[in-house]
Structure 1
Amino acid sequence: MAEINAPATGSNKPGARRSKKLSTRVDLTPMVDLGFLLITFFIFTTTMSSPKVMKLAMPKDTDDGDLTPIGQSTALTVIPLDANRIFYYHGDLESALKENTYGVTSYSVTDGLGQIIRTKQAALDKTKAGKHEDLMVMIKPTPESNYQNVVNVLDEMLINDVKHYAVLDVTPQEKDVANTKSTSAL
């Protein structure tokens, strides 16, 4: 509790009215209670709104610097481009260009990236039941793509229950082919 004492003042003239000044007392207990309530509220809300971390497993590099080998039939490479376009190819780039197993798609629900992944999973299941879990998707964003494009591709991995995927650097050859084929597809 806090008290403020002010002395009573008045004039000493005869016949003058004297006003009686009382001491003022201010109780700060409610203000302290309010302060502690606000501190408790802010601590509680900051712990409740902590950011969530997305689990991302990257393939382990081998000693000679090459990545872990992947079967060509289970590989799908996705290259997000600008303007919400995606260049994709199955297996190796050279054989995909020879066999025409590449294309340009979007994030559309009906015929976009999700449909490409589901088609690849179905094709793997035709060879052997449960083989769709061996699908390995390599995500190689270009500098022209934005962060939202990469997040959309990662969302498709989660939606389509892709167990194995990695975010890798795009090679200059892949970037050139992706830009060439995507502009000719327009």
Structure 2
Amino acid sequence: MENLPKKVRSKKLSTRVDLTAMVSVSFLLIIFFMVTIELAKPKAIDFNLPDNEWTYRGTHISCGPDVTRIVTILLDDNNKIITYSGLLFTPIVDPKVLNYGKNGIRQELFDRRKNITEYSTAIGKPKNGPIVIIKPSKKSNFKNLVDILDEMAIANIDTYAIVSDFTPEESKLLALK
């Protein structure tokens, strides 16, 4: 019996599977999807709306913003800026043509912010600053819009809006100046 061939036993392979790589890949996928979901969320800018109460020539009215706080900036071609305060048919500060820079629109925004803040403090609403309405015309370029937004940041104007529609009076004003 000694000459009988020995039984060859097959080697048993390990039944354990190394999951280290799979765990790493799954964590990477989880992080990837979390980041893409966060980036896909729509981003909104905080927009401070004005109060619904305002005073006009001593009369308290509860239907819209304080017109004394409104500053309108019209952007036209050739770097032309026309600005006025209040409403165009009853302006607090008459329309004037300005240019970009420190002695132009920036100085006007600083002056208007100072006057409006002093007025708001006098009537008991110290946190009410100017409301700037930016109206770029079809002739203005994108650079002018970016420049005026830079001026808003420099002048520390918190509440402003970009509006695309012009009143007929504003269109006439742009054609005149």
The 3-state SS of whatever aligns with 1:140 is strand
The yes-or-no answer on 1:176 pairing with 2:153 is no
* Structure 1 residue 177: Cα displacement: 1.4
Residue 136 of structure 1: which of 127, 131, 146 is its match? 131
Q: Aligned partners of 1:57, 1:153: CA distance in 2, in Å?
A: 19
Q: Aligned partners of 1:169, 1:132: CA distance in 2, in Å?
A: 28
Task: Please tell me whether the aligned partners of residues 133 and 163 of structure 2 are also in contact (alpha carbons under 8 angstroms).
Answer: yes
When you count helix as a share of all residues, which structure comes out higher? 1
- Residues 131 and 86 of structure 1: is their aligned pair in 2 closer, same or farther, counting only changes over 3 Å? farther
Percent of paired sites with the same residue: 23
User: Aligned partner of 1:108: which letter?
Assistant: G
The yes-or-no answer on 1:114 pairing with 2:106 is yes
Q: Aligned partners of 2:116, 2:127: CA distance in 1, in Å?
A: 5
> Which residue of structure 1 aligns with residue 75 of structure 2?
80
The 3-state SS of whatever aligns with 1:149 is helix
> Which residue of structure 2 aligns with residue 127 of structure 1?
119
* Structure 1 residue 70: Cα displacement: 2.3
- Residues 162 and 132 of structure 1: is their aligned pair in 2 closer, same or farther, counting only changes over 3 Å? farther
1:137-168 C-alpha deviation (Å, 9 max, x unpaired): 00000001000001111111111111100000
Q: Aligned partners of 1:115, 1:56: CA distance in 2, in Å?
A: 26
Larger Rg: 1
User: Aligned partner of 2:144: which letter?
Assistant: N
Q: Aligned partners of 1:146, 1:113: CA distance in 2, in Å?
A: 17
* Structure 1 residue 77: Cα displacement: 0.3
Task: Please tell me whether the aligned partners of residues 134 and 162 of structure 2 are also in contact (alpha carbons under 8 angstroms).
Answer: yes
* Structure 1 residue 57: Cα displacement: 4.8
Higher mean C-alpha displacement, 164-173 vs 123-132: 123-132
Residue 153 of structure 2: which of 143, 158, 180 is its match? 158
1:32-59 C-alpha deviation (Å, 9 max, x unpaired): xxxxxxxxxxxxxxxxxxxxxx975567
Q: Aligned partners of 1:142, 1:157: CA distance in 2, in Å?
A: 18
> Which residue of structure 1 aligns with residue 22 of structure 2?
none
> Which residue of structure 1 aligns with residue 13 of structure 2?
none
Number of equivalences: 118
Unaligned runs of 5+ in 2: 1-42, 50-62
Matches within 5 A, 1:15-164: 56-57=45-46, 69-96=64-91, 101-110=94-103, 112-129=104-121, 131=126, 133-164=128-159
Unaligned runs of 5+ in 1: 1-53, 61-67
With structure 2 as the length reference, what TM-score do the two structures score?
0.59
Task: Please tell me whether the aligned partners of residues 139 and 168 of structure 1 are also in contact (alpha carbons under 8 angstroms).
Answer: yes
